[in-house]
A and B are shown apart, each in its own frame.
Chain A
Amino acid sequence: MKKEMEISREIDISTDLGGIKLNNPVCAASGTFGYGREYEPYVDISKIGAVIVKGTTLEPRAGNPPPRIIETASGMLNAIGLENPGINEFLNTHLPYLRENNVTVIANIAGNTIEEYAAIAEMIEGNPGVAGIELNISCPNVKQGGLQFGTDPQMVYEVVKAVKEKTTLPVMPKLSPNVTDIVEIARASEAGGADALSMINTLMGMAVDINTRKPFLANIFGGLSGPAIKPVALRMIYQVYREVKLPILGGGGIVNYRDALEFLMVGATAISVGTGIFINPQLTEEIVSNLLHYMQENNVASLSELVGAAHQA
């Protein structure tokens, strides 16, 4: 313990994610950490880089019928269906708890229309204790025939722009990997005024129960997460880092500090862990501690030496 404290005094791992100040670069991904409370017995939640809370909508949502999850090779599929208590409940019940516990909070918001995203951002504005907004753009746009916001550059541009107009907080869309050209979506986010990018959301997939001969998930399709998607996430962040200047919160299947280093090296300014937390609730602090050791042993004085290192010839 004493050794760790000495190291952390020498090496600075605080970082800035497009205006979101983080004490360390390791965040808990939305939908994997609830509203923080659930993991209080296992980890000091105030020491996590940022807790990105469960995706929140204007009205409460019941979510999808079960089965909602199934494990697959080195990963899992989920189709939770955005179950959440709505923005009012978040602001009145969960945010005060997180504030009292000195947690760095990034709110994750989702909507059916551009107006809904803007309305939620407006409601968050002025509430102390929120450091930034992550936009879940993997939702269907009901006014555009259910086409996902995140798969259309024009809609991405519009939703980012609409949210930026209603908030003074840094805005970070979470890009869906289920697109042909991720760079195009990143550019649209930048044009809309995004302060950072969060990459990547889950990959759409499915599984079949061979006994019933039916799709395993009630929703048929689910989002694939876990180590299975890490190479895809790394590739996409590598591509975007070369073309877009925005800082990137990188994640997708991180389960240890070596994974975290790979994400920093392809260009992520900070990293998020999600599915890995289900296996190890102390993963965020373990990665921070191992990252510090790595940096000391390799004479790395600051994170900036690592970020994008894989791009140097």
Chain B
Amino acid sequence: MPGMQQGLVISHNQVNRDMFELEFIAPEIAEECQPGQFIHIKPGLRDQPLLRRPLSIYDVDKRLGSVTLLYKVVGTGTRLLTSVRTKEYVDVMGPLGRGFKLPDQPERILLVGGGVGIAPLVYLARVLEEQGCDITVLHGTESRRQLVAFEKLRQIGTDFFPATMDGTAGYKGLVTELLLKKIEPKKLDRIYTCGPEPMMAVVAEFAANHNIEAEVSLEEYMACGVGACLGCARKLKTNDTQYVKVCKDGPVFNIKEVELYK
């Protein structure tokens, strides 16, 4: 069951110009975390900003009872969050949402991340690796400075291939170009992706063309995070009469079900 806790911050590092890695101790939450789920965190103690922010679970250390979040500063909430220091507490709820569906047996897996969308794929890679999967990761960013998960993914034991727009690391250009050029679909059993929607739309087409199982992790503005306020609605291709809620029915969906914004 998800819970609400004050998480003791044990590390909080700026990893590039606008991205931060926040690790806190919250054993009950850590124990429950599944890849693809999220933590609903309250930046600051006051009314401005008012709401919690949903952040992807980047990594989990169940022995230590810690959860790590990777976030990008995009507005007042995340900017305020950057001021939290080690030994202070963060108000966290979670883990929330429906995470990635894991394979029943070891498979050949492709992870495609765009920008900060790499976050949920890192903890996913850790769990898949423990299951004996063979994992390839493609990560697309503006520049090499945003390839923040490189160390973790290498330690986990994935085959890591970056794509940068400025060519400062790996393939020069879009990660989707790298996908189409480099990846042999016949050698894949399953794909997981998270990032900008136009990127995920290309992944969806690739998966559909080659008949590969794939899942996406979506992002929407949220208020409650638990399916009560019905704010984070999204229409699925498979359901014409009802909206799903990204917080509760997702954030992970089968890629075939989702109409991605191109």
Contact = CB atoms under 8 A, between A and B. Distances in A.
B241 A62 contact: yes
Given A68-B231, A69-B223, 7 more contacts: A38-B248, A62-B243, A83-B230, A275-B223, A278-B223, A278-B229, A279-B50
A164 B55 CA distance: 47
B223 A281 contact: no
Contacts, number: 100
Given A71-B50, A279-B50, A32 B235 contact: no
A57 to B, nearest CB: 14
Interface stretch (B1-9, B115-123, B134-142): B1-9
B37 to A, nearest CB: 14
Interface residues of B, number: 32
A179 B226 CA distance: 33
A63 interface: yes
Contact of B226 (A39, A255, A282): A39
Interface string B238-262: 0001110000100000000000000
B221 A42 contact: no
Interface in A5-62: 31-34, 38-39, 41-42, 54, 62
Interface in A150-201: none
B181 to A, nearest CB: 32
Main secondary structure of the interface of A (DSSP, over half): loop
Interface stretch (A74-82, A105-113, A123-131, A241-249): A74-82
A226 B226 CA distance: 18
B93 interface: yes
B220 interface: yes
Leading 6 A-B pairs by shortest Cβ distance: A69-B231, A34-B228, A38-B228, A74-B47, A278-B224, A227-B47
A298 to B, nearest CB: 25
29 contacts: A31-B229, A38-B224, A38-B227, A38-B248, A42-B2, A42-B4, A42-B93, A63-B233, A63-B243, A65-B235, A65-B243, A66-B234, A67-B220, A68-B230, A69-B222, A69-B232, A70-B221, A71-B49, A71-B51, A74-B47, A75-B50, A78-B223, A80-B230, A80-B231, A226-B50, A278-B52, A278-B223, A278-B225, A282-B4
B155 interface: no
Assign chain A's interface to a size class. Answer: 35 or more
B48 interface: yes
B72 interface: no
A38 B233 contact: no
A76 B4 CA distance: 22
Interface of A: 31-34, 38-39, 41-42, 54, 62-71, 73-76, 78, 80, 83, 226-227, 255, 275, 277-282
B231 to A, nearest CB: 4
A71 B223 CA distance: 8
B42 interface: yes
Contacts of B225: 278
B233 A281 contact: no
Contact of A63 (B47, B222, B230): B230
B31 to A, nearest CB: 14
A279 B226 contact: no
A66 B229 CA distance: 13
A78 B228 CA distance: 13
For B51, B224, B228, the residue with the greatest tally of chain A CB atoms inside 10 Å of its CB is B228
A227 to B, nearest CB: 5
A32 B47 contact: no
Nearest to A71: B51
Given A62-B242, A80-B231, A279-B42, A67 B221 contact: yes
Contacts of B233: 63-66, 68, 80, 83
